[in-house]
Amino acid sequence: MTRTDWNFLTSILLLIAIVLTALLGYIQSEFELRKFVPHRYLAYATLVLLAIHLYFNFGKIWRYFRRRKKRRSPMR
């Protein structure tokens, strides 16, 4: 698999994990489950997927902020 494939795979998994975490959080809230382990572990997995996603896209993010900074700097 190429780096782009891994990037798209982590993006899709991240979206699924966020939706599932929100759904499990809602279930936890509705049934007042104090120690609902699946919600907690899925939140940790979401953070790991987020870190991987940022690793693959750090260059794009860095270039975006550098371009914004150049556009904001006043021309003298």
pLDDT digits (tens, 9 = 90+) for 1-17: 898 899 899 999 999 99
55 with 14: CB under 8 angstroms? no
pLDDT at 33: 86
Taking 90 as the threshold, does the pLDDT of residue 75 lie above it?
Answer: no
pLDDT at 73: 65
For residue 49, give its domain range: 3-72
Considering the entire predicted model, what is its pTM? 0.74
pLDDT in tens, 16-38: 999 999 999 999 989 988 888 89
- E strand spans, 1-76: none
Contacts of 40-44 with CB under 8 Å at 24 or more apart are 42/17
Number of domains in the chain: 1
Question: What's 75's DSSP letter?
Answer: P
